[in-house]
């Protein structure tokens, strides 16, 4: 992966001892002609070099993902 990474936020991953959720933007993540993305990374242990899970969201999909997450949140008990 190439491109400039800009950290946005980091929070504790609920239900873990020291896990974290990291949010960042990445400019040109797959080379010079690729679109910038938001990266959401989850690490189960904060000392990890690489996250356990990661997703890259293009700008065009962010609003739909937020809406789907809101719906999912409403269904959680």
The pLDDT confidence band at residue 74, using thresholds 50, 70 and 90, is very high
Using one digit for the tens of pLDDT, what is the confidence trace for 7-38?
Answer: 999 999 999 999 999 999 999 999 989 999 99
How far, in Å, CA of 50 to CA of 43, rounded?
8
Q: Which residue has the higher pLDDT, 69 or 49?
A: 69
CB atoms within 10 A of CB 26: 19
The per-residue pLDDT of the chain, averaged, comes to 93
- Domain, as residue range, for 70: 5-75
Does residue 1 surpass a pLDDT of 80? no
CB atoms within 10 A of CB 37: 21
Query: What predicted TM-score, i.e. pTM, was given to this entire model?
Result: 0.86
Q: How many domains does the chain have?
A: 1
């Amino acid at each position: 992966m190439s491109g400039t990474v800009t950290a946005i936020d980091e929070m504790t991953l609920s239900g873990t001892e020291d896990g974290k959720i990291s949010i960042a933007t990445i400019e040109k993540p797959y080379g010079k002609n690729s679109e910038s993305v938001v990266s959401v990374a989850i690490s189960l242990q904060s000392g990890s070099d690489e996250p356990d899970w990661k997703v890259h969201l293009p700008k065009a999909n962010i609003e739909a993902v937020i809406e789907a997450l809101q719906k999912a949140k409403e269904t959680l008990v």
